[in-house]
Every structure is written in structure tokens, then in C-alpha cells.
Structure 1
Amino acid sequence: MNIPVTLNNMPLLECFASETRVRMIELLGERPMSVGELAEMLELSSAIVTKHVQKMESAGLLTSESVTGTRGRRKLCSLAVDSLILNFRSRPSEEQRSAYAVSIPVGQYVDHEVQPTCGLASDKRLIGMMDDPRYFADPQHVGARHLWYGAGYVEYRIPNYLVGTQSVREISVTLELGSEAPGYNANWPSDISFHLGGVHVGTWVCPGNFGGTRGLYTPEWWDEQSSQYGLLKTLSVREDGTFMDGLKLSDVTAADLGISAPGSTGKNKTNDTGNASASKGRDISLRIESRSDAANPGGVSLFGRGFGNYDRDIEVSVKFSDSSREIRS
């Protein structure tokens, strides 16, 4: 997750100005803890710890849910992100000039094949009927801010703005997602597979489907007993492999995707089915899939702008290099 060091991000940056909050991050890095457990470890009152939790939740660093304990309900806290990268440069560097970024609404998929439980919601109402895959083809699906499916996939198109001899050296996709359980269940693992340009780049095990506390941006009309938010994750396909929040998922590299500028020549790479990559000189496909035969067939929930804990769509950045420029230099 890349964070520009600007005044707009002060709520997040301020979280690191407190020794107590940094210690909370250390503790939650080991395992989820309740407010009571954190208070005991920090030797503070639960009321003080609750204020720290609320600030860190608002900044997107923590998530919490109400769970049943031995003495009634308790608030269980978890880290929402595994890593952060702070960007200090206000002027675009050479590296930033050799990149572009796009934002894709979660409802703007171009292909799908889903199985119940499934559904779509705008920021104002449900789109069609729940658990009826036919509504994923309804023209109103482009307005979806939240969608979910128990098995199958949705596929998006990332525009290919490369020209001449430029080639991709890194693609990063940041999105808010969780697994898909009936209602919600924080302990509902799901093997979520990602494909770029027809190439399976890696599978990440999502820990659960989160609810109990309304998402920061989840609309009031949404059922409190349904999933409320996801985890903000960044998938990066780089020159040295594929990573999720900096942790390696696979050895697939950006070169393996075979993505180049439209009209360029050269040998296509092959995808995971052995066919020529569909990304050669064309838009770049992004498929998010939960297979019914996976070890953890837990489905997918996607949250976009106006839903969940992060008011954002699927954010994609593409970094590229130019072989002709390298030769001249």
C-alpha cells in the first residue's frame, strides 16, 4: 500500500506519533486481540485503548468485529494491512513518469461466471435478486459498489497505454476484498486466485468475511448481518516475482505476462493453459477467481467506492520501461 506523505493523509501518519499505537501494531502483528487483551498488555484502561482503536480504524490501519466471548460480546481487533510504503517526493521522478494509473469500479467487469451465494449492490440498493447469477449480466451491474460470489470469477480490463518499444516491468493492483460466507464469518478462509493477461500469477488465502461492525463507508441501508468490509491488499507482479503486500506469492514475473504496446512484434508468452497470452498489444485482463475445487473454496467479496472501509475502487498502476531508450543510453 503506497501512501503519499501529504496533509491529506495526516490521520494515518498521526497513528505513528504515539508509542501506544505503535506498540498496539506490534502486538496485533502477532495475532488478533480483543480490546481487553490489548489493555492488559499495555497496562491501560479499556476506554483509552478503545479511543486508540477508533483512531486507527478511521485511518484504515485496523479492523475490528464484535465476537462472542466467555463473558459476552467482545471487540476483536486485527491489522488491516501488512505493509505501508511512504512516498516523500512531491514532484514526479523519472520512475513515476514511466508509469500510469487507472481506477476501475468493481461493477465494471467485462466477463463473469459466478455461483451462489452471489449478488450486487449499488450505494443505494440491491441490483436484481440475491443468489441469482443472471443479474451479473444486467446492464446495471456497472453501477455496483459491492459484489460477492461463492465460486467463479469476475474479469476486468486494464487499458494498455504502452507505445513503441515500451514493455511492462511492474503491475500493481490495490483492492478491498474478503471471502464470501453466508452472513459473515471472520474465520472463513478462501483461496483467491489472480490472473493477469491470461496468466495465473498467484493465489492468496483470504482469512475471512468481515462484519459485526458497519464499514466506514458502507451505506446505512445495508443489512447489518451481512459482510461490511474487506482487507485492503496490494498485488504486485514485478521483475523478481509476484507479491501480496510484499510477501511473495509466486515466481511469475512481469516479463512472463508478455505485455507490450499495440502493434508491436515479438513472441507472445503463454498463459497457464498453454495458450498464447491475450495481452500482447491489447488491453490487460484481470481475473479474480475462487475455484469450487480449491482447498479453501470460500468465495470472493469485493468492495468499491461507497462501501467497506476504504472509499476507493480497484486501483491499478503500471510501470514500464523502453528498450530503445536503454539502448541509446
Structure 2
Amino acid sequence: MQLGNEEIYKVPRAKNELVLRALSNSARYNILQQLSQGPMNISELARAINISQPTVTTYVNQLEKAGLIFCRLQKSSKGYNKICHTTYRGVSLFWETDSAETIEDEYNIDLPVGHYSSIDCVAPSFLATQAGIIASSEDFSRFFHPIRMQAELLLMTEGNVHYLFPYNIPDTHKILYLEVSAEICVALDRADCCADVSLTINNHRFAVHRMTTAVNKKSSNHLLEWYPKDLATTGQLYVWRVEADRSTLNDIPAGNMTLADLNLQPMQPIEISFEVKSPGKPPGGMIIFGKSFGQYNQDIRLTVVHEREAHRDEDRTR
């Protein structure tokens, strides 16, 4: 329960490790100290502790996951700002656990952009590694060559791409939420371009999101000789989440999908599909960045947070 910064957080034993890990880093601790003075957004925190905004975003996510802070999106003239708040004045940790206590686990799978099960796109579209383009719409058969597994960037002007994520959480566990995250952006780095992007999970679709071209930071991609000069080099980290009673995109309501709709079954893969349409002229298209591109060190990530019952004897034998 979020009580502002007026109470002591009695950390559930299941989160002891998360909290200790969060507090073990001086930069994350500095973020907590800054927020103890009042709410701040990501750019304000980055300036205050003199580290990059992507790093602050990563640290904020870790602190939020540990229950030490909470964040809200606030509309601004340039879109939305993530405003961070401290949750409590301090923490209190205990080693013993009650036999009925539950343990919260996190299941993560990352798939590189080239590990799709099927793809259908129109020209111009391509797959790339740091060394250069390895498949393009000039020879569509290359999109199914084994070399595609090495790709870490996918550009689609229009089309869809499907991924199968392994899933093996027992049905006796309670699923708290499921997330899909990826760094994406409008491909053409022009102010008059846009793209309509939608994500589908097990044949259930989120609301369509219109991406517009933002002023992007230049990454090392623009130093690559082969990289087209008119393409964006960084994107935004988009996080689609499905909970028991709602679905969101970056904390904004994004449709009526619920966990029950997904019909998650142990040992059955979860199908994730991206679709892009480019309504304007010139067509904006979409880029999905992998680890070697953009500004976030991740591929397409599936996260499932689930809860299981902890038993005293089990905890003592760990």
C-alpha cells in the first residue's frame, strides 16, 4: 500500500533480496534521497545525480519493482512525464516468514528481433546487424534465411511480425501481470511522419497507438557508414501490460484486455505480434531496436510476474 513518505516499509520476506539489491547501489540510493525532498521526473533526477536519463530510467524501474518508490505519468506539452515519488520514509526487513506467506517471482524471456516465427511486410523493410543490412524487401526470401537470427534491428514500413515466447509457469501460481516491452520508434526521422502500431497477445489486441516523430538523441548508430541518414537512431521504451482487470501502454489505459482473456496455459507458447501501418506520406514505418542499437540494452522482452505460496521448510533449505 502506498502511503506517501510518512511510514516505514515492512518489507515482505519475498522482496528482501529486491530491496537489498536496490539499496546496494549508491546511485539508486541517491535517487531515494532526492525524492525524499519531493517528487521529480526522470530528467530532473538525471541532472540532480549527474547520470544519463536511460540509466535513471533503469534505476527507477528497479526501485519501483522493489516497492521503494511509485511513479505516475503526467501530461506535458511534449507528451508525458514520468513523475517519481518516495513510497515510505524508511524500510524494515525481517528474515522469518509465515507458512502462509506468498513469494513473488518474475519470469523474463528476451527474444532478439530476428527470432520471429513469421513476418509479412512491404517495401522498404529490412533486418540489420551492426555490420550492415542482412535482409531486405528487395529479396523477401532473405527474411527467412537462418542469418536472420543474428539481426538486432527490424524496420517495417507496413506489415506484421510474430514471435513465440516459451511459457512454463504452473497453473497453480497466481499471475499478477504480464508485460511486453521493446524499444521502438517511427523509422523516418522527419517531423511530418507517423506510424500506427498495435500489439497482439494470444490473438487479443491492445488499442492502436499512433507514434509521432520526436526529437531523438543521436546514438552511435549514426556513426555506422551503412546506416541510412534519414532514419531515427533511438526510440522509446514501450511497455504493454495486462493485469487482472485492465491493460495499459506505458501506464495509460490501452483497451479492455484482461489476464483471463489471454488463456495462459503451462507449456504452451505465448504469441506476441507487432503490426504497423503508415497512414501519412511519406510513410513513417517502425523500427524495433535490439540490444546493439538504440538506447536501451534489451531485446523484445516478455515479463510475467506471478505469486506462489511459500512454506517455512522450503525457505530454510534455500
Q: Quote the offset at 1:311 in angstroms.
A: 1.5
1:170 lines up with 2:177 in the alignment: yes
Residues 129 and 291 of structure 1, relative CA distance in 2, 3 Å threshold: closer
Partner Cα distance (2:219, 2:289) in 1: 10
Superposition RMSD on alpha carbons, in Å?
4.4
Match for 1:313 among 299, 302, 310?
299
Tell me the alpha carbon deviations over residues 69-124 of structure 1, each in whole angstroms, 9 at most, x when there is no partner.
xxxxxxxx9689746799999x9x94533x41111112211111111221111122
Match for 1:96 among 83, 93, 104?
104
1:143 lines up with 2:154 in the alignment: no
Partner Cα distance (1:194, 1:124) in 2: 29
Partner Cα distance (1:131, 1:85) in 2: 50
1:289 lines up with 2:275 in the alignment: yes
CA contact (8 A) 1:123 1:219 kept: no
Match of 1:10 in 2: 27
Q: Tell me, which stretches of 5 or more residues in structure 1 are unaligned?
A: 27-48, 62-76, 263-281
The amino acid of 1:10's aligned partner reads A
Residues 240 and 287 of structure 1, relative CA distance in 2, 3 Å threshold: same
Match for 1:257 among 255, 258, 262?
262
1:155 lines up with 2:162 in the alignment: yes
Provide TM-score, normalisation by structure 2: 0.65
Q: Tell me, which stretches of 5 or more residues in structure 2 are unaligned?
A: 1-17, 58-76, 96-100, 312-318
Q: What is the total number of aligned residue pairs between the two structures?
A: 261
Residues 155 and 177 of structure 1, relative CA distance in 2, 3 Å threshold: same
Residues 53 and 112 of structure 1, relative CA distance in 2, 3 Å threshold: farther
Partner Cα distance (2:86, 2:144) in 1: 40
Match of 1:215 in 2: 219
The amino acid of 2:210's aligned partner reads V
1:110 lines up with 2:117 in the alignment: yes
Match of 2:241 in 1: 236
Tell me the alpha carbon deviations over residues 279-313 of structure 1, each in whole angstroms, 9 at most, x when there is no partner.
xxx2000001014679x974321001010011111
Match of 1:59 in 2: 55
CA contact (8 A) 1:172 1:317 kept: yes
Match of 1:120 in 2: 127
Where do 1:67-82 residues align within 5 Å?
82=82
Instruction: Tell me the secondary structure at the aligned position of residue 234 of structure 2.
Output: coil
**Which segment is superposed worse, 165-174 or 284-293?**
165-174
Tell me the alpha carbon deviations over residues 187-234 of structure 1, each in whole angstroms, 9 at most, x when there is no partner.
5222211100121133222222765x4326776443444220110111
Tell me the alpha carbon deviations over residues 11-55 of structure 1, each in whole angstroms, 9 at most, x when there is no partner.
896598499x947858xxxxxxxxxxxxxxxxxxxxxx9x88994
CA contact (8 A) 1:151 1:299 kept: yes
Match of 1:180 in 2: 187
CA contact (8 A) 2:194 2:278 kept: no
The amino acid of 2:55's aligned partner reads A
Match of 2:250 in 1: 245
CA contact (8 A) 2:42 2:56 kept: no
